[in-house]
Amino acid sequence: DTGVSQDPRHKITKRGQNVTFRCDPISEHNRLYWYRQTLGQGPEFLTYFQNEAQLEKSRLLSDRFSAERPKGSFSTLEIQRTEQGDSAMYLCASSSSDQPQHFGDGTRLSIL
C-alpha cells in the first residue's frame, strides 16, 4: 500500500495561467475525492468520482475548474485562468466503497 500520491507538491504560477494537478489513488480504491483547504480552515469538498464517473460536484467548483478520471485510476484537476483566491492546498483522497477516506499530502498552489 503506497498511499495516495499527489503531484506536484508545490506550484507557483502567475494570475491568469492554467494549472493541472495529478492524483494517484491507492490502487484498489474505486472512489476518489478532491478537497480544497485554505489557511486556518478545514478541507472543503470539491468533487467525487466513482470509478471514471464524476458523481458529485460542489458549488465551489466554478466553471474554471475541471476534473477528470479517464480510466478510473488517476485523476487530474485543472484550474483555468487562475485567480488570487485559488491559492490553497488541494487535497486528494481515495476510498474503497464506504470505507474511510485516505488523503494524500496535497498540492500547495500559490498565485503571484
Partner 1 sequence: GEDVEQSLFLSVREGDSSVINCTYTDSSSTYLYWYKQEPGAGLQLLTYIFSNMDMKQDQRLTVLLNKKDKHLSLRIADTQTGDSAIYFCAVWGAGSYQLTFGKGTKLSVIP
List contacts with partner 1 (CB under 8 A). 4, 6, 31, 33, 35, 40-45, 48, 50, 55-56, 58, 91, 93, 98, 100-106, 108
| Closest to partner 1 by CB, 35 or 65 | 35
| Closest to partner 1 by CB, 66 or 108 | 108
| Closest to partner 1 by CB, 93 or 111 | 93
User: Considering the complex, what minimum distance in angstroms separates the CB of residue 16 from partner 1?
Assistant: 27
Pairing state between β 10-13 and 107-111:
parallel
User: Considering the complex, what minimum distance in angstroms separates the CB of residue 81 from partner 1?
Assistant: 26
Query: Is the Cα torsion angle 81, 64, 104, 58 positive or negative in sign?
Result: positive
Taking CA atoms, 109 is separated from 6, 25, 28, 59, 97, in Å, by 12, 20, 28, 20, 29
DSSP annotation of 6 reads E
